Amino acid sequence: MMPERLLIKNGVNFRELGGYQTTTGQQIRKRKLLRSAALSQLSTEDLNYLGEYGLKYDIDFRSPQERQKQPDRLPDQANYYFAPVFTVDQTRSQDDARQHDQRLLNEENAGFKQMLDAYNDIVLSANAKKAYRQFFDLLLANDAPDQSVIFHCSAGKDRTGMGAVYALTALGVDQATIRADYLASNVFLKERFKPMADRVPVAQQNPIYQENIQALSTVSEEYLDCALGTIQREAGSLEHYLATELGVTPAQQRDLKKIYLTD
């Protein structure tokens, strides 16, 4: 199923995770678990919409530089939590200096390799593990009715995408559905990433650069498989990784299911 798009006008990749079915036949509750790209450009109308949606917790996976450059805008009742996955944005999702990067301009597959490195760091780095542990703590805190949590980075595709992989796995959603949700970012971000001719000087519109920017600007099965392969090598399975590396206990998984799944 295609995820339900939230009716946000000044933002992209805003969507519900409610409605997904688990392997036990339950569903994730609507208006509880949301994912998105940046919240920095939200209009007053958007803020009112999220306020009516019950937004209580905002989890920001961006780097300190990204947060400083584009701080979140939130409805009054929402609380902000900073959980940086990277100390700098390795996915380069908001990096204006990309068009001057000689590797991206001249080296084939540089963008693709950079993304694989970023996904390995998402799995392996202590900073990322700390951020996702905080993420689960806040998911567990979101236990009141009529309250929702949103988690995001800049484009809502990589750091947010892996957050969704972890959360949906803990809730018992099957891996095919989780993969489809991850890849849906390419659909939701089409409007954000305009054709190359609209975004860079003519002198830099070479095929190598275009391919590298495409690699940085989209999600790929190969990126997800890189992360999952690293998890398999390090922990044996995704479920074991959640338990041993992120510290999500069986009791906490049961609590998460009580909070986010239908009876």
Burial class (CB in 10 A: 0-12, 13-18, 19+), 39: buried
- 159, part of any domain: yes
How high is the pLDDT of residue 206? 85
- 135, part of any domain: yes
Q: How confident is the model at residue 137 (pLDDT cuts 50, 70, 90)?
A: very high
Number of independent structural domains in the chain: 1
The type of residue at 46 is D
Residue pLDDT, tens place only, 180-238: 999 999 999 986 655 444 555 655 568 998 899 899 999 999 999 999 999 999 999 99
How high is the pLDDT of residue 197? 43
Q: How far apart are the first and last CA of the chain?
A: 21
Q: How confident is the model at residue 161 (pLDDT cuts 50, 70, 90)?
A: very high
How high is the pLDDT of residue 200? 57
Q: Answer yes or no: are the C-beta atoms of 80 and 74 closer than 8 Å.
A: yes
pLDDT, mean over the chain: 92
- 221, part of any domain: no
Nearest by Cα to 11 from 53, 44, 39: 39
Nearest by Cα to 229 from 128, 123, 127: 123
- 227, part of any domain: no
Q: Name the helix (H) or strand (E) containing 259.
A: helix 250-260
- 245, part of any domain: yes
- 9, part of any domain: no
- 218, part of any domain: no
Find the domain containing 191 and state its range.
15-96+125-197+238-260
How high is the pLDDT of residue 205? 67
pTM for this prediction: 0.93
CATH of the domain at 243: 3.90.190.10
Q: Answer yes or no: are the C-beta atoms of 84 and 63 closer than 8 Å.
A: yes
- 60, part of any domain: yes
Token pair for residue 95?
A: 């990096």
Token pair for residue 23?
A: 């392997």
Range 128-162 burial, b when 16+ CB lie within 10 A, else e: bbebbebbbebbeebeeeebbbbbbbbbbbbbbbb
Burial class (CB in 10 A: 0-12, 13-18, 19+), 105: middle
Q: Calculate mean pLDDT across residues 50-73.
A: 97
- Kindly give, in sequence order, each residue whose CB lies less than 8 Å from that of residue 111, ignoring residues fewer than 6 positions away: 104, 211, 212, 213, 214, 215, 216
The type of residue at 223 is Y
Q: Residue 240 pLDDT more than 70?
A: yes
Q: Residue 4 pLDDT more than 70?
A: yes
Q: Answer yes or no: are the C-beta atoms of 152 and 39 closer than 8 Å.
A: yes
